[in-house]
Structure 1
Amino acid sequence: MTEQNWEERVDAAVRTVRADQPAMTDSARTAAKARLTAAMRGEPEAVVPLAPRRARWVPLVAAAAAVVVVGTGVVALTGGDDNLTPASGKAYPEVPPIPGRNTDGSYPPLPPVSDVPLNSAERFVGHGSDLPQGPGQYLLATTRTWLHGQVETPERLEMGLGNEQLRQEWIPFDRADEWQRSFDRDVNRPAPARTERNQASPDQISGTTASEGTYIAPRGDYRKTGYWYENPVSFPANGRQLYERLREEANTMGAGPAEFLTYVFEAMLSRGDLTRDQRSVVFQALSYFPYLRVTEDVSTRDGRAAVAIGVDDSPGYLRSEVLVDPATTQVIGTRKIALRDAPLNPKGGAVIEAKTGSVVEETTITYQVVGQRGATR
């Protein structure tokens, strides 16, 4: 770009696009200018995210805003429409129960993919936003997990949410760079003692055992086990293709296909590092899952508004849910709910009941952008 006064032309273009919009903040105007300039230079990896808003886009600005480079590991986080389409009066089929085992011990396969979406998870597609993140910055995803266990009472005959775990993950702007994860398996108790089978791992920089400490690895490889669906770069181009591929794989599993698919979707969405567009693909895939239930107006353990998308297991004991922020479409929690009174056998040997409707496992997930790996503010 060698023309004279090109910066003034970019400023004018930004002002034209925003002519009928409220006044921009300095940071929003800088981001818009950077995005347009990058597009004009043909430098998509330099794109700076616009704040989410509704606007009438000119073609050049629209092209710049849509850039997401995932093949090289560089992700330009994009904004989206922050006015998510609410649940409409559109009718969806009644959610059937997951079929149990056949008499020979095998599981019925997942049915062929529907021609149309089967639930309102489709309304998350193409909506939401990400936190602005630039080169050298880290997306910090903090996950707190409360597990079902014995409550410390004199009789030790009650169950509840105890054993609080804490996981923090620093995700670099360039996903191929070094990631960092810190994990505390019980924030209220000391770290477990080292044993012969629980030595510190090679990628660990703190902690005396592999089950608790701080770990560093490129591309988050400390948590990958080689399955394609653990890497967002491997996702198909659209949600229907993603669902078809997962369905085919689930039907070859020895365990129940629906339960396998539930586990995979929950693992995908609760990673914390998916961009708006990657989440959109997963939500579109979920809209074809015949056993998915969508529950409006729920809240996370820390009081944030959410929409729950979940699946009941085939015996009808538990519902596994992912909690979605209705504005950003980020996953802000997960939980498991008891669907019936169920006897449990803690280590003490007493028979305890999980009451119908009680939460037996829960997580909250929060996000922030920090300037260096390991920072918390």
Structure 2
Amino acid sequence: MDDLQLLRELRSDTGSVPPATLAMGRSRVMAAIAHDATIGVLGKQSSERNVSHIRFRRRALLASAAAVLLIGSIVVADVVRPTPGATAEAAEILNDAALATIRTSDPVMAPGQYLRVDTKAVYASTVQKDDGTAVAWLETTGGQMYIPADITGEWVWNREPRIPTTFFGEESRAEAERQSAPAEGPVFAGPQLEGILRGKAGGFYGGSPEQILGTPLAEAFRTFPREPEKLLQLIYDRTKGKGPSPESEALTTIASALRTGVIPADLRAAMYKAAALIPGIVVAAKQATLDGRQGVALGVHYADGKVRDDIIVNPATGQLIGERTVYLVAEAGIPANTAAAWTSVQTSVVDSAP
């Protein structure tokens, strides 16, 4: 899952977020924990170290995606500020993606087959020093989610380890190595963070079955409105008070649902059309590449203009390629114009699961 909730409703069990970050009000991106924690579909994860992980919050319904991390280098994203007319341009691209989605057949699975969702994810981790400054680095992880043709059956998730891969200077590298070193003293058993996990209907770690906006998948497919205005209003109603802004929360909620890989074509198209109605959506980059696949990045800025959430789509096919959170200014040890969290997704049909 983008580490499932995963890949978003991640929440913190230990650690604390740097005060400066809290002051910025970025609860979505700066989550305090000591290795990742997942809830909902993924359950919970925890660690004993005081490290804050910047990542996508919310439910990634699957350990979706296949993205590529530029190992050992800074991930730089395009800097785009809101400009007049950008929203109309973004809406046109999203509506084109909706039309392409309707023309694209959903994957057909026979009994016994699985939809395999491959995910690569990058998250920033930070450590606050005694002098109030922060040291940050990027970690990469991934996994494969196997979803049976009958989505109420047993899902299988192969979770890959989380490994520091990109550093912002020697102090960043040294701190990442220190945090990754084996803990001394007694080690307390916790949730299984790597390897093969199984859960009925996507209910990993003893959690409830996979859901969208609090609604079980099958029910959501059946009952969610296909009218873009009604669907967007439903999203606003169920995410009220969450995230840095209603617009950002709506866009990332849509991305989280699309990343599952199981949304039927008519509902996917409605989600793209609903996204086209979100105020403030801009074309962040007309050519954005993740995992060797190129698409258009469409994003919404936080109120202070310092952070932007993007989704990356292929308008010609209607495929969601991935998503990212971009820091447009330096903060918490992360350089300006850095994708502090991102994922990419690929799906395929396979005959078996691990």
TM-score by length of 1: 0.54
Aligned to 1:283: 272
Cα displacement (A) at 1:219:
2.0
Q: In the TM superposition, what whole-angstrom CA distance separates every residue of 1:196-227 from its partner, at most 9, and x where no partner exists?
A: 4x53xxxxxxxxx3333322222223374784
Structure 1 272/290 Cα, relative in aligned 2: closer, same or farther at 3 Å? same
- Work out which of the residue numbers 351, 354, 359 in structure 1 matches 2:335: 354
Cα displacement (A) at 1:141:
0.7
Cα displacement (A) at 1:158:
7.7
Cα displacement (A) at 1:142:
0.7
- Computing the radius of gyration over CA atoms, which structure comes out larger, 1 or 2? 1
Matches within 5 A, 1:132-281: 132-149=108-125, 162-187=138-163, 196=188, 199=190, 209-222=191-204, 224=210, 227-228=213-214, 231=217, 232-233=220-221, 234-251=223-240, 256-281=245-270
Structure 1 182/118 Cα, relative in aligned 2: closer, same or farther at 3 Å? same
The reply on whether 1:314 has 2:303 as its aligned counterpart is yes
Equivalent AA in structure 1 for residue 194 of structure 2: E
Aligned to 1:331: 320
Q: Decide whether the 8 Å contact of 1:322 with 1:333 is kept in 2.
A: yes
Aligned to 1:124: 97
Cα displacement (A) at 1:136:
1.8
Cα displacement (A) at 1:174:
1.9
Structure 1 255/318 Cα, relative in aligned 2: closer, same or farther at 3 Å? closer
Cα displacement (A) at 1:144:
0.6
Equivalent AA in structure 1 for residue 335 of structure 2: A
Structure 1 225/274 Cα, relative in aligned 2: closer, same or farther at 3 Å? closer
Cα displacement (A) at 1:282:
0.9
Aligned partners of 1:240 and 1:302: how far apart in 2? 33
- The Cα RMSD (Å) is 3.5
Q: In the TM superposition, what whole-angstrom CA distance separates every residue of 1:325-361 from its partner, at most 9, and x where no partner exists?
A: 333322122112222x2231xxxxxxx3512x33222
The reply on whether 1:301 has 2:274 as its aligned counterpart is no
Q: Decide whether the 8 Å contact of 2:155 with 2:198 is kept in 1.
A: yes
Cα displacement (A) at 1:275:
2.9
Q: Decide whether the 8 Å contact of 2:86 with 2:283 is kept in 1.
A: no
How many residues align? The count is 239
Aligned to 1:373: 353
TM-score by length of 2: 0.57
For structure 2, the residue ranges without an aligned partner over 5 or more in a row are 1-82, 127-133, 165-179
Q: Decide whether the 8 Å contact of 2:97 with 2:313 is kept in 1.
A: no
Matches within 5 A, 1:20-99: 94=85
Instruction: Compare the two structures and name the one with the higher strand fraction.
Output: 2
Aligned partners of 1:289 and 1:225: how far apart in 2? 23
Aligned partners of 1:259 and 1:321: how far apart in 2? 9
Work out which structure has the larger RCO, using CA pairs closer than 8 Å and 6 or more positions apart in sequence.
Answer: 2
Aligned to 1:343: 331
Q: In the TM superposition, what whole-angstrom CA distance separates every residue of 1:98-119 from its partner, at most 9, and x where no partner exists?
A: xxxxxxxxxxxxxxxxxxx955
Local SS of the residue matching 1:342: coil
